[in-house]
């Protein structure tokens, strides 16, 4: 059953977006003197909140407005907040925890996983895993767009809420547990750069320039978002699940092999999935019951 929600009704993902934008704006306000360009960042956040409040009230049937509200604006919000983390994280919490994460990895394995993986490193493997790592930027959007284009509004709204919740919870994790990751913190233990072609080197350079140093190692957002999308694909569209499965497995492997994350970051990313689904699912069920809309978790249309 696909039910159109009234345009004026704030959807769970929109309520979530306003809530977290407000929380991050409040953090900046409380640390105004420590956050670089705090006034500019606050202005951007205020603009996002204002536009989010306005979107449901725009009475138009133009398809472009539907795509702006449903697809473009959520993506812009998530990317904008992520980009601002480089200014916010250390201002709010200046204590990196890399030393703790390094110690946990060593206690679990008796070695440093990124260093140990040098034994199996090869140019081909680096190229494959570096490419798999980049699918993180496309998989969540691809699934959302697929559900949206199929007109499966209940499934799309459920998906959008949980995937945005996972993003925002990962950002909270970066604020609570700032860490650089092994590519910076234990670079001195590596015997050299990962072997790879110009292709993988160009990808890594591009990601380094786009992401910068945001202390976003723990939890692994790549793991959390990719696995969340995979679980939702299993629930909502088995065809997408079959398409996503191998890229997601390779992506998770790439987080450690390519030296972006410690293994404990990956474990943290899997815990992030659990935290996303349990309270997120409870709230979404509450919202649908309160507003008289179906909960789509058992949908199987277009699945086989």
CB atoms within 10 A of CB 161: 24
Q: Is residue 3 part of a domain?
A: no
pLDDT digits (tens, 9 = 90+) for 90-129: 999 999 999 999 999 999 999 999 999 999 999 999 999 9
Residue 4 lies in a domain: no
Decide if 304 is inside a domain: no
Residue pair 222/255 in contact (Cβ under 8 Å)? The answer is: yes
- Please tell me the distance from the alpha carbon of residue 35 to that of residue 8, in angstroms, as a whole number: 35
Per residue in 169-227, pLDDT (tens digit) is: 999 999 999 999 999 999 999 988 889 888 888 887 877 776 665 788 999 999 999 99
Q: Does 239 have pLDDT greater than 70?
A: yes
**Rounded Cα distance, 189 and 185, in Å:** 9
Three-class secondary structure of residue 216 per DSSP: strand
CA 126 → CA 82, 146, 201, distances in Å?
26, 30, 9
What total number of domains does the chain contain?
1
| Structural domain containing residue 72 | 12-291
Is residue 301, in this structure, part of any structural domain at all? no
Q: What angle do CA 45, 80, 249 make, to 5 degrees?
A: 140
Containing 240, the helix (H) or strand (E) segment is: helix 238-257
Residue 274 belongs to some domain of the structure: yes
């Amino acid at each position: 059953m696909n039910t159109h929600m009234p345009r004026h009704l704030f959807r769970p993902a929109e309520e979530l977006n306003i809530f977290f934008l407000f929380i991050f704006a409040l953090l900046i306000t409380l640390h105004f003197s420590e956050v670089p360009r705090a006034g500019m960042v606050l202005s951007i956040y205020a603009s996002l909140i204002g536009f989010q409040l306005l979107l449901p009230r725009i009475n138009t049937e133009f398809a472009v407005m539907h795509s702006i509200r449903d697809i473009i604006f959520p993506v812009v919000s998530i990317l904008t907040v992520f980009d601002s983390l480089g200014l916010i994280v250390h201002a709010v919490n200046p204590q990196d925890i890399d030393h703790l994460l390094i110690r946990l990895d060593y206690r679990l394995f008796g070695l440093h996983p990124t260093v140990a993986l040098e034994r199996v490193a090869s140019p081909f493997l680096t190229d494959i895993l570096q490419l798999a790592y980049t699918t993180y930027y496309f998989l969540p959007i691809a699934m959302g767009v697929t559900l949206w284009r199929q007109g499966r509004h209940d499934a799309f709204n459920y998906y959008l809420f949980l995937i945005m919740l996972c993003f925002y919870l990962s950002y909270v994790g970066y604020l609570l547990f700032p860490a650089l990751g092994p590519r910076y913190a234990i670079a001195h233990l590596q015997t050299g750069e990962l072997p790879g072609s110009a292709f993988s080197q160009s990808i890594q350079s591009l990601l380094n320039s786009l992401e910068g140093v945001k202390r976003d190692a723990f939890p692994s957002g790549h793991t959390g978002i990719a696995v969340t999308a995979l679980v939702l694909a299993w629930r909502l569209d088995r065809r997408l699940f079959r398409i996503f499965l191998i890229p997601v497995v390779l992506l998770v492997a790439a987080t450690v092999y390519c030296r972006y994350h410690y293994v404990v970051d990956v474990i943290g990313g899997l815990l992030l999935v659990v935290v996303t689904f349990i309270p997120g699912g409870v709230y979404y069920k509450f919202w649908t019951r309160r507003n008289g809309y179906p909960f789509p978790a058992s949908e199987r249309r277009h699945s086989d």
